[in-house]
Amino acid sequence: MADKQGNVKRKESTKKKESLKPQEKAKAKESSKPQEKAKAKESSKPQEKAKAKESSKTQENPKPEENAKPLENTKPEENSKGSEDPENPEDKVELMELPPFEVITGDRISSFFFKFQFRNVEYSSGRNKTFLCYSVDIQGGGDVETLRGYLEDEHITAPHAEEAFFTLLLPECKPELRYHVTWYVSSSPCVACAAKIAEVLRSRKDMRLTIMVARLFMWEEPEIQEGLRQLKAAGCKLKIMKPADFVYTWDTYVEPEGQTFTPWVDAQENYEYYDEKLSEILQ
């Protein structure tokens, strides 16, 4: 009896164990899934970080082929020279044929230049030249010799027309002669020219100079005003051109080219304006 009961109990326990195995396996399988997912997630993090780090490096440091192109036109010296070939003799000849503007001398001015450059407007935009018409009466031994002509220059070059008059046309004066010089100038002298003229007048006591100007050059500047006062102190007579002076200059120094000249409508008004300013400066 006892053995039968024992055998029955062992059979029941083995049945319970066998019935529990599928359930325990299922539970173990389900419980292991989150752990495996977590492990897989954790293991994938370093790989993702490494990939992101490598991709960022690639963006920051492009491929050598992209950086291989050199920067073009980086030297300003080369760009400023243009497309000229220094080894080409024809280019050198062309450069020699186009020198900077120089002082030009002659007998008569173009009518176009006179009407534009001598107009006595207050704001002389675009008038970057100085036109100087001169008359020199040389007296000695009862005879009088007269020299007439004109000079023109560019303000960007040196010397200006005022200085060029003394270096090119009247480099020296003979002490036994007397020189009476009259200028009709498109604008009054700059600071440097005023200083040069004053120096010449102080050294040549036998010269008398009268400057008739169409308009005042930058007369608001203190150094310009001081230069004009220095001219007066050296014996130079400064005057503003009247409408009649423009007519005289046209008849004496201009090539009419079939044209006639009538003073501008505002010539008298502008003369009065500049004459008042010059009087204030020289007083």
Residue-wise pLDDT for 72-86, tens only, equals: 444 434 344 344 444
pLDDT of residue 158: 59
pTM over 0.75: no
Q: Which three-class secondary structure state does DSSP give residue 185? A: strand
- Are 162 and 195 spatial neighbours (Cβ–Cβ below 8 Å)? no
Interval 3-29 mean pLDDT: 45
- φ, ψ at 267 (rounded to 5°): -60, -45
Which band of pLDDT confidence, cut at 50, 70 and 90, is reported for residue 43?
A: very low
Interval 135-151 mean pLDDT: 92
Q: What's the mean per-residue pLDDT of the chain?
A: 75
Question: What is the rounded CA–CA span in Å between residue 213 and residue 224?
Answer: 14
From the candidates 162, 163, 223, 269, give the one annotated as an active-site residue: 162
Interval 30-35 mean pLDDT: 47
- Catalytic-residue membership of 122: no
190 has a pLDDT exceeding 50: yes
Residue-wise pLDDT for 211-270, tens only, equals: 999 999 999 999 999 999 999 999 999 999 999 999 999 999 999 989 999 999 999 999
Rounded-to-10 torsion of CA 167, 170, 172, 174 = 180
Q: Which of 191, 200, 202 is nearest to 229 (CA)?
A: 191
